Amino acid sequence: MSGEFQQRLQLLHDQGRLRQLRPLSGRRGCRVQYQGQDLLNLTSNDYLGLAGDMALAEHFYQGLEAGNLLAEYGLGAASSRLLAGDSDLAHSLEDELATAYGRPTALLFNSGYHANIGILPALLGKNDLILSDKLNHASIHDGLRLCRATHKRFAHRDYEQLESFLASHRHRYEQVIIVSESVFSMDGDSADLPRLVSLKKKYDALLYLDEAHAVGLYGGKGLGKAEEEGVGADVDLLMGTFGKAFASIGAFVVCSREIHDILVNFSRSLIFTTALPPVVVNWSRHIFRLQQGMGEQRRHLAGLSRQLRLALEKQGLATAGDANIIPLIIGADQEAVRLAERMREQGFLIFPVRPPAVPEGTARFRLSLTADMQWSDLAALPEIFGRERAANRSGAGAGV
């Protein structure tokens, strides 16, 4: 058996797809140390630049007192929420989320992955249908596999195909739910939310929106694309994470009271896991309050992203999307690996994204900008990348 495992690993290595853990250290804002180098971190999801903010962390811990050590700064819940792991703190955060979104209720999950694998199987059964964007996150696809409902995937942002599915199949199912990310994590493009809302209303469907890569970055209070486009009230289940722009861990869904209660009773990824530690829930609440006033950081990041896209295009490099996530398609896996190594030598921490995370033949760099970066951090990147890619392709062509 060990020989079979070794063959599988060797095949991944030969394909340029062998994944390894890479410990980082010395985080200072948007910079980090890797293998002894001080690098600009272009791989993080710390979109608002909060995870590396030492002053912010120090301010949070100033609230630590003997009387609240376990209740608000404790390191373990030691039980699931449905046993002894629930807390007033968790309910306080859920109440603040529901109030901010103007929805009846909210429910915490331990991660976006827990939410996406636990929500659909809890809500839907064999007489129901799920229609999911083909480029939705892997956690959504895993949730589809765990669900007894029929599921179909429509081509990425192809709402004509989505409507054709609805027109052809809606009458055959008790419930139909449309599932989409708002900002897609590998392409940096966005769903057409008004169109999705229109289709859900026309065909009496539910809409499940994954805002993992949008919360903190869009809308007046940083609540996501649905807030920015004024459609939040029409989204039946809006999922957001704390593990990206909010610099914490965990996730939440805002929804109706009935959906909330169904999830509490049937969502296995909620029921059968230990609750988040009090210190994590407290930190998430702290960040959620603060980020609602971070409009300047959001504007800065949007402007920085536009500026880098324009500079890359001036170098003849094709980009896509319109978010702070800027994909640069490399193509071949091995080329992406070699080029990432060259960029690290030039001071940029970029890890290549390869299949199955992205479609075959589209290995890429996923440049992830954060609000604590300045243009001076990025100005040299477009020219260096263009030069290194040309040299990399020339060397590969020469058999190097």
Which one of 46, 72, 187, 210 is the catalytic residue?
210
The distance of Cα 142 from the centroid of its chain, to the nearest Å, equals 15
3-class DSSP string for 194-212:
HHHHHHHHHCCCEEEEECC
Spatial CA neighbour of 207 closest among 187, 188, 182: 182
From the number of C-beta atoms within 10 Å of its C-beta (0-12, 13-18, 19+), residue 63 rates as: exposed
Two tokens at 16? 């340029």
Q: Cis link prior to 356 (omega < 30° from 0)?
A: yes
Sort strands 150-154 and 129-133 into parallel, antiparallel or unpaired.
Answer: parallel
Q: Find the angle CA(156)-CA(127)-CA(193) to the nearest 5 degrees.
A: 30
Catalytic-residue membership of 53? no
Which one of 200, 244, 260, 300 is the catalytic residue?
244
The distance of Cα 340 from the centroid of its chain, to the nearest Å, equals 22
Q: Find the angle CA(44)-CA(109)-CA(173) to the nearest 5 degrees.
A: 110
Return the residue matching tokens 């990041």: 301
Query: How many alpha carbons lie under 13 Å from residue 218 in its C-beta half-sphere?
Result: 21
Catalytic-residue membership of 221? no
Separation CA 39–CA 377 (nearest Å): 10
Catalytic-residue membership of 65? no
Catalytic-residue membership of 156? no
Separation CA 376–CA 192 (nearest Å): 33
Two tokens at 86? 């629930």
Spatial CA neighbour of 106 closest among 291, 281, 290, 279: 281
Catalytic-residue membership of 114? no
Q: Distances from the Cα of 51 to the Cαs of 10, 41, 317, 331, in angstroms?
A: 36, 12, 30, 32
Which one of 116, 128, 137, 225 is the catalytic residue?
137
DSSP class of residue 379 equals T
Which one of 41, 110, 185, 368 is the catalytic residue?
185
Catalytic-residue membership of 13? no
Which one of 181, 211, 227, 228 is the catalytic residue?
181
Catalytic-residue membership of 181? yes
Which one of 114, 200, 213, 260 is the catalytic residue?
213
Spatial CA neighbour of 269 closest among 296, 250, 292, 248: 250
Sort strands 363-368 and 325-331 into parallel, antiparallel or unpaired.
Answer: antiparallel
Count of residues making up the chain? 400
Q: Would you name the residues annotated as active-site residues?
A: 45, 137, 181, 185, 210, 213, 244
